[in-house]
């Protein structure tokens, strides 16, 4: 299957995970960190995906750009919020 560079189709897998109260607190911290960059990721799945990418880069001592990670996570999500985000980005000319 050929996918255009403009619209990436992501494979969605369903996996049940158990989170502790401490895990949820850490997700809240990640949400605040991501929000400090001007991005709103209110769903746990987006926060977990961003956290995984940040952690992977940190563990491998690679630099990361919070904006790139946030944009990638939001654009890959099929919800309305990401569609609105992409529309506003197109309007701003970035």
Query: Residue 41's pLDDT is what?
Result: 77
> Model-level pTM greater than 0.75?
no
Map out the domains of the chain as residue ranges: 21-92
Of 81 and 17, the one with more pLDDT = 17
Per-residue pLDDT tens over the stretch 41-60: 777 888 888 888 989 999 99
Q: Does 3 score more than 50 pLDDT?
A: no
40 three-state secondary structure: coil
12-39 residues labelled b (16+ CB within 10 A) or e (exposed): eeeeeeeeeeeeeeebeebbeebeeeeb
Torsion of CA 32, 33, 39, 40, to 10 degrees: -30
Compute how many other C-beta atoms are within 10 angstroms of the C-beta atom of residue 4. Answer: 7
Is residue 10 within 8 A of residue 76, CB to CB? The reply is yes
The alpha-carbon radius of gyration of the chain (Å, integer) is 14
């Amino acid at each position: 299957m050929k996918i255009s560079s403009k619209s990436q189709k992501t494979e969605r897998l369903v996996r049940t995970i158990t989170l502790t109260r401490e895990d949820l607190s850490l997700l809240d911290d990640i949400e605040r960190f991501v929000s400090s960059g001007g991005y709103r990721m209110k769903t746990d799945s987006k926060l977990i995906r961003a956290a995984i990418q940040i952690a992977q880069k940190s563990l491998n001592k690679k630099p990361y750009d919070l904006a790139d990670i946030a944009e990638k996570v939001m654009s890959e999500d099929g919800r309305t919020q990401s569609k609105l985000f992409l529309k506003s980005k197109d309007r701003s000319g970035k």
